[in-house]
Copies of this chain bind each other. A is one copy, B any other.
Amino acid sequence: MSPTAQDRRRPMLHETRCESCSLSSLCLPLSLETADLERFDSIIRRHPPIKKGTRLVEQGDRFTSVFAVRSGSLKQITTEGSGEAQLTNFFLPSELVGLDGIDDGRYPGSVVALETTTVCEIPFDRLDALTQTLPELRAQLFRTLSKELREDRRMMQLLSRKTADQRLACFFLGLSDRFRRRGYSPFSFRLSMSRADIGNHLGLAVETVSRILGRFQQQDLVAVSGREVNILDLTALSTLADTEVT
């Protein structure tokens, strides 16, 4: 979808320029000069909001673009062989979706909106072309990829060495941190994902997630009401999260 008259008319116009986007310091164009930012801005395709449950990309679709999340949240689900679906990632505003599709030209998982979500589509060939003349942009892209690698490795550590309680603790700490970085309260937030999603992501059964949430509440670590979360004791959660298992 290219910028159209419809786009222009909308008061959204301000919103949809990188220059004025509140996420610009977190998103890709981090360290670009105004002129460069314009060039970056010009390759981006705005999208109308995606409704909850709608798929942004389908597993196996041809890879063409990466997407920057502007608002809302998404989950990535990969189904392999006859194996059950695996929820590999949650995406929050400013995060980049689809980088794992570069290699073989197909998206390796479906990406589904967890709530009404808006994204910026960035055609990868044009992004790649821009990195040729904008070293800072290139560096930022490498960093983003590299960071995702590092986070994946943390996830592996979580899945292979941590108990169910520690996994949940890590999950809350991770979310808390991501919200804080985005300027939201690190203590009080709303989960956009179901217990089943959390369980799938952490390698736990739904029932286990529910039980441990209950236990955390009894211990006054968090207060959970439906999908509303209040972190009461961040320190205790942190301790729990990376205490050696013996």
Q: Give me the interface of A with B, judged by CB distance under 8 Å.
A: 78, 80-84, 86, 88, 99-104, 108-109, 128, 131-132, 135, 138-139, 141-150, 152-157, 159-162, 202-203, 241-245
Contacts and interface: CB of A to CB of B under 8 A. Distances in A.
Given A99-B146, A103-B149, A152-B153, 12 more contacts: A82-B244, A84-B245, A86-B156, A86-B161, A88-B156, A99-B145, A128-B135, A128-B142, A132-B138, A148-B149, A152-B156, A156-B159
A30 to B, nearest CB: 13
A82 B242 contact: yes
A150 B82 contact: no
Chain A at the B interface: SS class = helix
A76 to B, nearest CB: 8
Contacts of A102: 142-143, 145-146
B153 A84 contact: no
A132 B139 CA distance: 11
Contacts of A81: 241-242
Nearest to A105: B143
A150 B242 contact: no
A42 B155 CA distance: 37
